[in-house]
Structure 1
Amino acid sequence: MKNQIGKRRVRSLRAEQPISPNHVAKGSVALGISTMMLAPLAAFAQAQAPAAPSAVGTMEAVTVEAQRIDPNPNAEVGAPYKAKTSGDFRHTKPLAETPQTIEVITGEAIKDSGLTDLKQILDAVPGITLGTGENGNSFGDRYIIRGQEARSDVFVDGLRDPGMTTRETFAIEQLEISKGPNSTFAGRGSAGGAINAITKQATLDYDFTHASVGLGTDDYKRVTIDMNKAFSDSFALRANALYGDEGVPDRDPSERSRKGLALSGLWEVNKDLSVTLDYYGLRAKDSYPDLGSYLVGTAPNRWPKNPVPPVYAQAQDFQESDVDTFTARVMYAFSPTVKLQNLTRYGQANNGYVVTGARESTVYPLTGPRNAATAYQSGTLSTHNGWQDIDYFANQTNLRWDTTLGGMKNQFVFTLEYSDNQSVRGNYNISNLGATNCRTAATGAATGYCTQVPGGASVNGLNTLMNRSIAENPWSNDWRVKTWSGGVMDTIDFTERLSAFGGIRFDRYEYELGTRNLNTGIQNNYSYSDTLTNGQLGLTYKINPMGMVYGAVGSAADINGGEADTGTSAGYGGLIIDPNGNIGAKPEKSLNWELGTKWNIMDDKLLATAALFQTTKSDVMEGNGYESTGSANSGKNRVRGVEFGVTGNFTKRLQGQIGAAFMKSEVLESAVAANVGRELANFANNSISGQLKYQATPAFYFGGGFTYQSEMCAGQPDTGAGYTADGYCSQRVQPFTVYDLFAGYRINKNLELRAAVLNLFDKEYYTAAYRSGSFLYKGDGRAFRVTMDIEF
């Protein structure tokens, strides 16, 4: 006898997955010898069902524990920290059988961590560090994977998500971080890897409403709602909403505000055809955006300012991101072995910021003599500002064909993609109306805004010192890239144990950049086109049903001027030009070799992985002396390392995720001879993180997390970290270890109370530094948060 749970529910339920008593079935429930027991039970209640008679006619009791359904369709059943499959249609094998390092953070792990911004989540991932904005590249979420820039290698459901924006997690089902060059999937860029956010989608399988209300220190307030409703057997709607507001811990008056809405509508036209329409909107604003501290002293004794300076952001400062995205998904099954997926997306992203930096300087009082006797040390304020408007369109078609050729199983994926990304950027006209309060030179006018008075005390009215007047200037850069892509992938099972994956992708692009000098009115237009070819090959061998070993090689390529937020700032990915026009630079190329092993253990509830890798990036566009050296591809660097990971259920009560990356980087070639042999900028040799959760009783759990990152040396991407002539790191970011705690108690079937303490020991730490040391991103101080989860 089959469970009658409504047509759609029966279709999608996995046999080993019990049904939550907190979700309402859309049909009658039948109990039988071979079925699970389904009833509106209280949470964690137990029930007994009749068992088949034994040989002597006795009845055996069967105990079934109710368990909440995980809305994430890619999670391993019964192990919510472990993802079984990728949310990307193009990955045809389970993650445990994929010949590549792909680290996944599920929505359950994100919820338990208490972290909300994507930048905070990824900062805790081994092998990933953060970069800063400046006047050459925009402020916003900037990620560096295995030492390589990845700020433009962020994807949502397999489509590139351009723009330097603030990214939130309220609508994310799971995060997938692919390590190593990945242009076969991602297209241009992805020298170190790519980040793919899988979003929450409407489902016909069950109805639910989850709401969370959180309060905490620093005026923390956060409300989220996740609601799914099937209005018929063919139409469902899912809505996720967010309201969040908080002060930055220990950094008053800095504040963060987040408001978001994600809608997903599913229409199953028939058993073969379905259409999903999505909208995603986010309004993120940081008031008094805090750039943390700054470095003082001379290397090797160069350290963050101590004590930490108060927030020197000005009252008029801001950092805002507005995002609106519309996506249509069409799935059509020609047959059980031939399936088509089409994704179409149009989006707009707007990022604007005026932020204040500071650096240690020798200054003089506003009045009186200026000499050694009157000189003192103070932070002096500077301004960074810019705006960027992104418009993007993309259409991707994937055709999957499962077939048998020559007695071997093949899983083909054919891909066609077109994208049109445009970025218009400029800056603000800023007038500082406040009176200057110090002199920055022994001669000349008094032009400085100083954070301290003689003796070291902070000035009064620090946040209103500059009294800025801000107006948006017209555009100065108009960047556009159109790309036509085609590729084919195939996974071949030669035997039950031996498989191979191969793929090749072609990207034909047309590049345009218009620049305008606002002072002279002179405009220049640059354009060119080229074709990129990249591939990936992997071979896997199953040692036994639990474990396999693999070897893989993959490539990536990026183009001259590929970063949308930099114009002609070549050292940060902008277009390389000379007086005669844009230089015909060759694409940057990256090649990765990887040997690894993956093991599905503990009844497939725990995945353990290890990988040894080497990535070499050649023809690097360093942004140094192109006219004199005669080459725009003067750099080469290499990263070698090993990564370990274990994710899932360690025991029936203990689950978690632990990862570690141990790496070395080296500049092999450079237009600047002194850079050769140095490590890459913003690169941490070692990083380890973990999160564990223990279910002490059916109602109570507790756990914690930690993040360790070794020291980094700031500098310009690809050209090597900044060092003094004596060989000391000139802008050092100190190592850090941060610990978090969390716990939860289920009051009844509808209510659960969660608590989290972030940065338990109130560690003072920094996550990134600007290459001059004039600002250091400060990690959040200790914060306590309590959240009530409500299920209807």
Structure 2
Amino acid sequence: MAYITSKKHGDSTRLKSSALASALLLALPAGAMAAESETVLPTVDVKAQAEQPAYKAERVSSPKQTQPLVDTPQTFTVVKKEILQEQAAATLSEALRNTPGITMLLGENGNTATGDSIFMRGFDTQGSIFVDGVRDLGSISRDTFNTEQVEIAKGPAGADYGRGAASGYVNLVSKNAQADDFTGGAAGFGSGDYKRVTADINRKLGFEGAAFRLNLMKQDAGVAGRDEVKNDRWGVAPSLAFGLDGPTRAYFNLLHIKQDNRPDGGVPTVGLDGFYNAAFDTGGAQAGKVPAKVDSSNFYGSLGDFDTVTADMFTARFEHDFAQGITLRNTSRYGKSSQQYVLTGVNAPNFTNANPALWTVARTRQGKDQDNTVLTNQTNLTAEFATGAVKHSVSAGIEFIYEKQAAYTQAGVGTQAAANLYNPSVNDTFIPVRPTGAMSKGDTATAGIYVFDTLKFGDRFQLNGGLRVDHYKTESESVSLSTAANNPTLPVGTLVGSALSGSDNLVSWKIGALYKPAANGSVYASYATSQQPPGGANFALNASANNINNPNVDPQEGSNIELGTKWDLLGNKLAVTAALFRSENKNEIVTNASTNETTQVGKRRVEGVELGVAGIVTQNWQISAGLAYMDPKISKGSTGGNSPTDGGVIQWSPKLTFTSWTTYKLPFGLTIGGGARYVDSVTRSSSTIANPAKTNMLNGPDYWVFDAMAAYEINKNVNLQLNVYNLADKEYIGSLNNSGARYSPGTPRSARLTANFLY
């Protein structure tokens, strides 16, 4: 790939069966080339190769993962900054397109989700996003201008970071000051009035081992294919380092981001393939008619809608090497984010008028005022030593974490007038959104201790284990508005306060056995657990007996068993992985509609296979691809009533997903590349009853999307890059809300032109 990379910091159904068969071929070279490590290879001049960015990551950033990825018994996907640059990807959501098994959510019924609303391997993962190993709170969209790489761990991993989803976690690795001098950046513009500039400046300071780095970003952009929506932001991220060439190092990083967006409340699903409404059935008001599709560019909100986000993060990290293989690290962070928004969401359509031009769609005015704070101190010790013939790689530590969230309820004053379904207007009268007086505040204090050890028995066998024990205490207070149903003795709308607390110990662990048929490959089996206590995702406890955040219920427990193999091929330039997995989450709340009894016996499980490849195929050809096949099922769910889920499919979990990105460098300075993404149909309902009267969209249809890129080196320091997204201009659902009434359209055919530079 012809991308500008400094040598000094160079590290720095339809097609289902054919797609699956093609991807399975990725695993075949492993056995055939297993003996590669036993062959003495000739010396190779790799100077030209060093000019190319590498898609293949050797290891992840966390010291808790004591071995290179090829010897780590768990599925990891690492999206490096080179891929982000080639794809002109500016957000975490765009970066996550490079790993299979992930979908995005739009929200629950009348509420609209904002930011990185991630659903991975059958479970909500929005609360398991980390930055440099520290949990990052808030439902905001994360920019990648200060991101070195994005690491996605699949499957429960409570031993790594404590409480979390049964799906795994996402970790963003920040850019640190380096012992080099360079100036880089990019300036781009494109469809949807997209404009963005970034700068990355690193300088060695006047005294030994010190350096300063500054990353800057400014974006002023609309959204391709969407009227009136905008994503404007700016950010600054200085990093100061000392002792880079010595045994004692210190890093001080600051991140400040300000967003000023106009949010998107979605588009009605009327007219999409699969849309259903009883009004068009025999005997319905519009019997026999086929509703026309709503224009996907329609905006149903007000120009006064806004989404403002302010995020600040200060991190101090100290490292000291006591001896070769023995390092002590201490990390402290204070982070705070606030989000205030007012947006207009669309809901149920009204087809009673005989004239389709007069059909309407209901709207709701929604608001949010939320603050999140995190304060943490983490100490980690890594050591390598031997006990007899057994070699150990140990990582142990202690963490103290304080997390707090405050959310103040906002609601529209009055009833918002409906919009014309096919011709909405921003000049309509919009009701104001005001605080109701209701609120919730919660905080969790956690003390955790952990230890990991990789035991090596010669060159062939390894045993990897980890144990973490957390003690947490959550305190929650809330103010709600009384209703005739929940407080019949009080006037409706009376503010009622409550306070709850809960504490417990969480024990999470993992173990893996690994066999190395050759030095460049491994075969492994592993088992890991995680726990999610009441209030663990939102710090809001609830006194209702049928609520999973009731402090008296047990934590949800996740587990994952995985059998896999990993190989570094072609001179360790190409990583090939394959894994079979089975993830479960139990202790969920289920209801028996016949007795109205709620019990904590619910269980979901996702089993499947995931394949991956990343790295250099030939000197000028690079590839990153992944395929995941999942069988998501509710093993034990609610019974009886109109919507039993026992034995149903887990919603938002497509069975087959595929993603790929590849580039080839031609000899005259031109690099061409492209990618393909496939997402199988997504089910939004887990009900086991076939109910044709269910309105709106029952499923999100499957789709393929193809992207392309071309870059030309003007000189050794500057190149021009053109990205074209959705080449076939495929209309698809990017995300769907819980009721199926509205959706976020996928990106239409669009383009971005970027000038990248590095001196």
TM-score, reference length from structure 2? 0.86
Tell whether 2:521 aligns with 1:547. yes
Over 3 Å counting, the alpha-carbon distance change for 1:767 and 1:681 in structure 2 is same
Q: 1:748 to 1:297 in 2, by over 3 A?
A: closer
Amino acid across the alignment from 1:425: A
Whether 1:408 aligns to 2:390 is yes
The one-letter code of the counterpart of 2:512 is G
Q: 1:192 aligned to 132, 148, 167, which one?
A: 167
Select 2:476's aligned residue among 487, 506, 513.
Answer: 513
State the Cα distance separating 1:87 from its structure 2 match.
1.1
Counterpart in the other structure of 1:146: 121
Question: Deviation per CA, 1:501-540, whole angstroms, max 9, x where unpaired?
Answer: 0011011100111010254232100001001101000111
Shift of 1:294: 2.6
Match of 1:337 among 321, 325, 336: 325
User: Match of 1:517, SS?
Assistant: strand
Please point out which of 366, 388, 401 is paired with 2:370.
Answer: 388
1:769 aligns with 2:715: no
Contact 2:545 2:598 in 1 (8 A): no
Partner of 1:327: 315
Given residue 335 of structure 2, which amino acid in structure 1 is its aligned partner?
G
| Aligned match of 2:680 | 710
Distance 1:637 1:491 in 2: 31
Tell me the distance in 2 between the aligned counterparts of 1:304 and 1:713.
22
8 Å Cα contact 1:563-1:573 kept in structure 2: no
Shift in alpha-carbon separation, 1:266–1:723, aligned structure 2, 3 A: farther
- Find the partner of 2:66 among 88, 92, 99: 92
Question: How far off is 1:136 after superposition?
Answer: 6.5
Which one of 708, 711, 714 corresponds to residue 744 of structure 1?
Answer: 711
2:222 matches 1:247: yes
Q: 2:244, 2:85 → 1: CA distance?
A: 34
CA-to-partner distance for each residue in 1:444-487, whole Å, 9 max, x for gaps?
A: xxx741324xxxx525xx12313343444556000111111011
The equivalent of 1:39 in structure 2 is none
Structure 2 unaligned residues grouped into runs of 5+:
11-42, 278-289, 482-492
Aligned pair in 2 of structure 1 residues 727, 509: CA closer, same or farther (>3 Å)?
farther
In 1: Cα distance, 2:409 partner to 2:9 partner: 53
State the partner residue of 1:33.
none
Report Cα offsets for 1:594-652 as digits up to 9, x if no partner: 00000100110000000000011111135898994242x23111111000000000111
From 595, 598, 609, the equivalent of 2:566 is 598
The residue matched to 1:276 in structure 2 has which SS? strand
Contact residue 398 and residue 448 of structure 2 kept, 8 A: yes
Q: Which residue of 2 aligns with 1:289?
A: 264
Partners of 2:681 and 2:326 in 1: CA distance? 50
1:104 and 2:73 equivalent?
A: no
Say whether the 8 Å CA contact 1:714–1:768 is kept in structure 2.
Answer: no
| Partner residue, 1:759 | 726
C-alpha contact 1:613 1:640 (8 A) present in aligned 2? yes
User: Which residue in 1 is equivalent to 2:407?
Assistant: 425
Whether contact under 8 Å (1:138, 1:386) holds in the other structure is no
Deviations 1:205-263 (A, max 9, x none): x1100021112222211100011111132210111110111111121221111211111
Q: CA deviation at 1:203?
A: 0.9
Q: Does 1:482 align with 2:445?
A: yes
Q: How does 1:59-74 map to 2 (within 5 A)?
A: 65=47
**Higher radius of gyration, 1 or 2:** 1
Relative distance call for 1:777 and 1:115 in structure 2 (3 A) is same
Q: 1:640 to 1:269 in 2, by over 3 A?
A: closer
Distance of 2:543 and 2:62 partners within structure 1? 34
Amino acid aligned to 1:592: N
Shift of 1:750: 2.0
Give the aligned partner of residue 619 of structure 1.
587
How far has the Cα of 1:120 moved from its partner?
2.1
**C-alpha spacing 1:304/1:474, structure 2 compared with 1 (3 Å):** farther
Per-residue deviation at 1:165? 1.1
State the AA in 1 paired with 2:148: E
CA distance in 1, matches of 2:464, 2:440: 41
CA RMSD of aligned residues (A): 3.0
- What is the distance in 1 between the residues matched to 2:502 and 2:735? 35
- Whether 1:308 and 2:295 are equivalent positions in the alignment is yes
Aligned partner of residue 650 in structure 1, secondary structure: strand
The aligned counterpart of 1:272 is: 247
Change (3 A) 1:86 1:787: same
Contact 1:692–1:703 at 8 Å: present in 2 too?
Answer: yes
The equivalent position to 1:499 in structure 2, one of 462, 466, 469, is 462
Partner residue in 2 for 1:667: 634
Cα deviations across residues 565-621 of structure 1 (Å, max 9, x unaligned)? 766498998623xxxxx5x10111111110000010011000000000001111113
Match of 2:667? 697
- Is 1:350 matched up with 2:350? no
1:607 to 565, 570, 575: 575
Aligned residue number for residue 458 of structure 1: 423
- Report if aligned partners of 1:634, 1:671 keep a CA contact under 8 Å in 2: no
Q: For residues 9 and 121 of structure 2, what CA distance do their matches in structure 1 show? A: 45
**Cα gap change, 1:737/1:20 in structure 2, threshold over 3 Å: closer, same or farther?**
closer
Taking the aligned partners of 1:234 and 1:131, their CA distance within structure 2 comes to: 46
* Shift, 1:308, TM fit: 2.7
Q: 1:181 corresponds to which letter in structure 2?
A: P
What is the deviation of 1:758? Answer: 1.3
Once the two structures are TM-superposed, the CA of residue 377 in structure 1 deviates from its matched residue by: 3.8
Give the drift of 1:171. 0.8
Question: In 1, are the aligned partners of 2:271 and 2:294 still within 8 Å (CA)?
Answer: no
How far apart are the structure 1 equivalents of 2:593 and 2:537? 20
Deviation at 1:21, TM superposition (A): 7.3
Q: Which amino acid counterpart does residue 187 of structure 2 have in structure 1?
A: V
SS in 2 for 1:634: strand
- State the AA in 2 paired with 1:690: S
2:30 maps to what in 1? none
CA distance in 2, matches of 1:352, 1:484: 31
Matching residue of 1:38: none
Equivalent residues of 2:475, 2:501 under 8 A apart: yes
> Match for 2:197 among 214, 223, 230?
223
Q: Is the 8 A contact 2:568 2:574 kept in 1?
A: yes
Residue 347 of structure 2: aligned partner = 359
Distance 1:523 1:288 in 2: 32
Which residue in 1 is equivalent to 2:28? none
Q: Gaps (5+ residues) in structure 1?
A: 1-18, 26-60, 70-77, 366-371, 437-446, 577-581
- Contact (CA 8 Å) 1:23, 1:208: kept in 2 or not? no
Percent of residue pairs bearing the same amino acid type: 28
Q: Which amino acid is the alignment partner of residue 452 of structure 2? A: M
Give the superposition deviation at 1:777.
1.7
Q: Distance in 1 between matches of 2:594 and 2:755?
A: 58
**Displacement of 1:752 after TM fit?**
0.9
d(CA) in 2 for partners of 1:321, 1:93: 38
Q: What CA distance in whole angstroms lies between the structure 1 residues aligned with 2:244 and 2:720?
A: 40
Distance in structure 2 (CA, Å) of the matches to 1:23 and 1:270? 14
Q: How does 1:564-579 map to 2 (within 5 A)?
A: 564=538, 568=542, 575-576=549-550
**Contact between 2:367 and 2:433, CA under 8 Å: does it hold in 1?**
no
* Matched length: 694
Q: 8 Å contact 1:96–1:600 — kept in the other structure?
A: yes
Moved more, 653-662 or 292-301: 292-301
Deviations 1:645-695 (A, max 9, x none): 000001111101010000101111123352111110111110001000000
CA contact (8 A) 1:295 1:773 kept: no
Q: Deviations over 1:3-30 (max 9, x none)?
A: xxxxxxxxxxxxxxxx9778699xxxxx
Aligned residue for 2:305? 317
| C-alpha contact (below 8 Å) 1:294/1:358 kept by paired residues | no
Change (3 A) 1:252 1:630: closer
Distance (Å, rounded) in 1 between the aligned partners of 2:594 and 2:143? 39
